[in-house]
Amino acid sequence: MIPITKQGKLICVGTGMRMAGQVTPLAQSYLETADVVVSAVPNIFTRKWIQGLAKEFICVLGYYEDCDVDGKDRRDTYRRMADTILDQVRAGKTVCAAFYGHPGIFACISHMAIKDARAEGYSAEMLPGISAEDCLVADLGIDPGRTGMQSMETTQFMIYERNIDPTALLILWQPSLAGELSLKRFETTAARIQVLVDKLARHYPLDHTVILYEAATSPLETTRIDKIALRDLPTAHLVSSTTLVIPAAFALKRDEAIIAQLNALPEAPRLETEAA
From residue 91, how far is each of 36, 79, 87, 156, 208 by CA, in Å? 11, 18, 6, 37, 55
- Told to judge if 213 belongs to the known catalytic residues of this protein, a careful annotator would answer no
Q: How far apart are CA 274 and CA 276, in angstroms?
A: 6
- Choosing from 18, 47, 63, 78, the catalytic residue is 78
Cα(first)–Cα(last) distance of the chain, in Å?
A: 46
Beta strands, E only, the chain: 9-14, 36-39, 57-59, 94-99, 123-126, 149-153, 169-173, 209-214, 224-229, 243-246
**81, amino acid identity:** M
Closest to 101 measured CA to CA, from 144, 134, 142? 134
- Choosing from 100, 122, 204, 213, the catalytic residue is 100
- Told to judge if 78 belongs to the known catalytic residues of this protein, a careful annotator would answer yes
**150, amino acid identity:** Q
Closest to 78 measured CA to CA, from 110, 116, 41, 114? 110
- Choosing from 18, 47, 74, 192, the catalytic residue is 74
Known catalytic residues are 74, 78, 100
